[in-house]
Chains A and B, each alone.
Chain A
Amino acid sequence: MKKTQNVTIKGTKDGLTLHLDDTCSYTELKNELDRKLSNSSRVQEEAKLLSVKVKVGNRYLSEEQKEELRDLIRQKRNLIVEEIETNVLTKEEAERLKQEGEIVSIARIIRSGQVVEVTGDLLLIGDVNPGGTVKASGNIFIMGSLKGIAHAGCTGNDQAVIAASVMKPSQLRISECINRAPDQGTEEDDKVMECAYISEDRQILVDRLQVLIKKRPNLTRFEGGR
């Protein structure tokens, strides 16, 4: 009986996909991939680089192994690996993802000199006083007044937002962008219920809270219902 294939190549309208079986051993897989790519080389020297997706199913690949597969595919053909997709997550990754998805609520006043940093979204019940700093890898929601520094998406998430009941920050930071309060504070301005986000031209904009509904629809996590 003929052995089932461990490597199958499929063409879709989005490009090539390499399906790698997840039941065989890694060396077996590597050898077969090597063979297959060499065999089927209807060499088109002039052909431009083609990107492929690699799907490995329920196989966990370490970073070294991923690199090895990338090299292998790259060497054999005019192929370049766009992404490696796996169904498997390490425990650490899963925990990190879970943390990042959580909303951490804190009820206290962040005073001058204090720094609070959380993974995930921050829900602060209280104020951030001048000189105080809050940081979150996700969004920051402040029920009180923000008069200090807030840094949302501090691990590099451009989609993160900052919202506050009273928005009078000394500095706003989202991902890599920084914005500070004007030197001449306009005292009369209503700074109630506002939000900050990164606009298309990579500037931090401050606007009414309601614009987030359009700008960041992903903030809604509620599913179902009416």
Chain B
Amino acid sequence: MGEAIVITSGKGGVGKTTTSANIGTALALQGKRVCLVDTDIGLRNLDVVMGLENRIIYDLVDVIQGRCKIHQALVKDKRFEDKLYLLPAAQTTDKTAVEPEQMKELINNLKQDYDYIIIDCPAGIEQGYKNAIAGADKAIVVTTPEVSAVRDADRIIGLLEKEEGIEPPKLVINRIRSHMMNSGDMLDVDEVTTHLSIDLIGIVADDDEVIKASNHGEPIALNPNSKASIAYRNIARRILGESVPLQQLDKEDKGVFSRIKRLFGVK
């Protein structure tokens, strides 16, 4: 019996889909059977980020309305032998096509066959959000170190805490720009964590490679050399129960001048 984790944020554009794709990928790399579920009906993206768009035959709404069986709609990711599947969202209808009860049943069915169900939640707190969290056991809230994103994360955490059957949510801080944090122009990790006062499960640095990889339909977690990839793999290991220390952000200025200064022991 697997475990369903919903990835949510409230605000749009903070990296829910990227986080879903990469956590799913990283868990699959750890040898777990993973099913990604895109609940952003009408605005599906997860398939594009995973590079599986061309293989979609049926979608989530088809399954729920009984036009096909679950296994017919699941898209297999060939890069992982039988470890990673995607249940894509429908593009032609909207979020009202599905009811929370139906989602719950669907997720419960998937839990029989997979170790982890990663549910990608749409932005907002309306029907789409309610559908996404209906079947979840755990929740991960994604935020960026921006005041508006943190505000929305706070709202979402408040709503999640009211839900019965979902464990207290965990926090991922995404798109960290260490130079801005060091200069104090951006909220730092501690500020965000104390403000939201929930457990931090990972921090991900802002990395151009992430965008590049998403555009190619290859989640960054597949590339073992990128910093963001290691961050996502660490999150996956923490989900599996390992205790992994937080990634060190670049504390020093990389400029030549400061290096010389350091050489002479000025600072």
Which residues of A approach B to under 8 Å, CB–CB?
109, 111-114, 127, 129-132
Complex: A127 Cα to B151 Cα, angstroms:
14
The chain A residue with its CB closest to the CB of B151 is A112
- Shortest CB–CB separation between residue A212 and chain B, in angstroms? 27
Please name all residues of chain B whose beta carbon is closer than 8 Å to the beta carbon of A130 when the two chains form the complex: 151, 154
Decide: A113 and B197 in contact? CB cutoff 8 A. Answer: no
Closest 10 CB pairs of A and B: A111-B158, A112-B155, A112-B154, A113-B155, A111-B154, A129-B154, A114-B158, A112-B151, A109-B197, A111-B157
The chain A residue with its CB closest to the CB of B158 is A111
Decide: B154 and A127 in contact? CB cutoff 8 A. Answer: no
Please name all residues of chain A whose beta carbon is closer than 8 Å to the beta carbon of B152 when the two chains form the complex: 112
Complex: A109 Cα to B155 Cα, angstroms:
11
Q: Is B195 an interface residue (CB 8 A)?
A: yes
Complex: A127 Cα to B195 Cα, angstroms:
9
Chain B residues numbered 21-37 whose CB sits less than 8 Å from any CB in chain A:
none
Query: Which of B159, B161, B195 is in CB contact (< 8 Å) with A129?
Result: B195
Complex: A47 Cα to B157 Cα, angstroms:
69
- Shortest CB–CB separation between residue A129 and chain B, in angstroms? 5
- Shortest CB–CB separation between residue A147 and chain B, in angstroms? 8
- Shortest CB–CB separation between residue B228 and chain A, in angstroms? 28
Complex: A114 Cα to B159 Cα, angstroms:
9
Decide: A127 and B155 in contact? CB cutoff 8 A. Answer: no
Complex: A132 Cα to B154 Cα, angstroms:
10
Decide: A131 and B197 in contact? CB cutoff 8 A. Answer: no
Which residues of B approach A to under 8 Å, CB–CB?
151-152, 154-155, 157-159, 161, 195, 197
Please name all residues of chain A whose beta carbon is closer than 8 Å to the beta carbon of B197 when the two chains form the complex: 109, 127
- Shortest CB–CB separation between residue A108 and chain B, in angstroms? 8
Interface SS, B side: helix
Please name all residues of chain A whose beta carbon is closer than 8 Å to the beta carbon of B151 when the two chains form the complex: 112, 130-131
Please name all residues of chain B whose beta carbon is closer than 8 Å to the beta carbon of A129 when the two chains form the complex: 154, 195
- Shortest CB–CB separation between residue B107 and chain A, in angstroms? 26
The chain A residue with its CB closest to the CB of B160 is A111
Please name all residues of chain B whose beta carbon is closer than 8 Å to the beta carbon of A131 when the two chains form the complex: 151, 154-155
Complex: A127 Cα to B157 Cα, angstroms:
14
The chain B residue with its CB closest to the CB of A144 is B197
Complex: A127 Cα to B117 Cα, angstroms:
33
Complex: A129 Cα to B152 Cα, angstroms:
11
Kindly name the residue among A112, A131, A132 whose own CB sees the greatest number of chain B CB atoms within 10 A. A112
Please name all residues of chain A whose beta carbon is closer than 8 Å to the beta carbon of B195 when the two chains form the complex: 127, 129
- Shortest CB–CB separation between residue A84 and chain B, in angstroms? 47
26 of the cross-chain contacts (CB-CB < 8 Å) are: A109-B197, A111-B154, A111-B155, A111-B157, A111-B158, A111-B161, A112-B151, A112-B152, A112-B154, A112-B155, A112-B158, A113-B155, A113-B158, A113-B159, A114-B158, A127-B195, A127-B197, A129-B154, A129-B195, A130-B151, A130-B154, A131-B151, A131-B154, A131-B155, A132-B154, A132-B158
The chain A residue with its CB closest to the CB of B10 is A112
Please name all residues of chain B whose beta carbon is closer than 8 Å to the beta carbon of A112 when the two chains form the complex: 151-152, 154-155, 158
Kindly name the residue among A111, A127, A130 whose own CB sees the greatest number of chain B CB atoms within 10 A. A111
Complex: A127 Cα to B197 Cα, angstroms:
9
- Shortest CB–CB separation between residue B192 and chain A, in angstroms? 12
- Shortest CB–CB separation between residue A141 and chain B, in angstroms? 19
Please name all residues of chain A whose beta carbon is closer than 8 Å to the beta carbon of B158 when the two chains form the complex: 111-114, 132
- Shortest CB–CB separation between residue A111 and chain B, in angstroms? 3
- Shortest CB–CB separation between residue B176 and chain A, in angstroms? 21
Complex: A82 Cα to B75 Cα, angstroms:
82
- Shortest CB–CB separation between residue A98 and chain B, in angstroms? 29
Complex: A22 Cα to B195 Cα, angstroms:
60
The chain A residue with its CB closest to the CB of B195 is A129
The chain B residue with its CB closest to the CB of A114 is B158
- Shortest CB–CB separation between residue B126 and chain A, in angstroms? 13
Complex: A83 Cα to B152 Cα, angstroms:
52
- Shortest CB–CB separation between residue B143 and chain A, in angstroms? 12
Complex: A131 Cα to B195 Cα, angstroms:
13
Kindly name the residue among A129, A130, A131 whose own CB sees the greatest number of chain B CB atoms within 10 A. A129
Complex: A188 Cα to B154 Cα, angstroms:
25
Complex: A113 Cα to B155 Cα, angstroms:
6
Complex: A131 Cα to B125 Cα, angstroms:
15
Please name all residues of chain A whose beta carbon is closer than 8 Å to the beta carbon of B159 when the two chains form the complex: 113
- Shortest CB–CB separation between residue B147 and chain A, in angstroms? 8
Complex: A168 Cα to B151 Cα, angstroms:
15
Please name all residues of chain A whose beta carbon is closer than 8 Å to the beta carbon of B154 when the two chains form the complex: 111-112, 129-132
Kindly name the residue among B151, B154, B155, B195 whose own CB sees the greatest number of chain A CB atoms within 10 A. B154
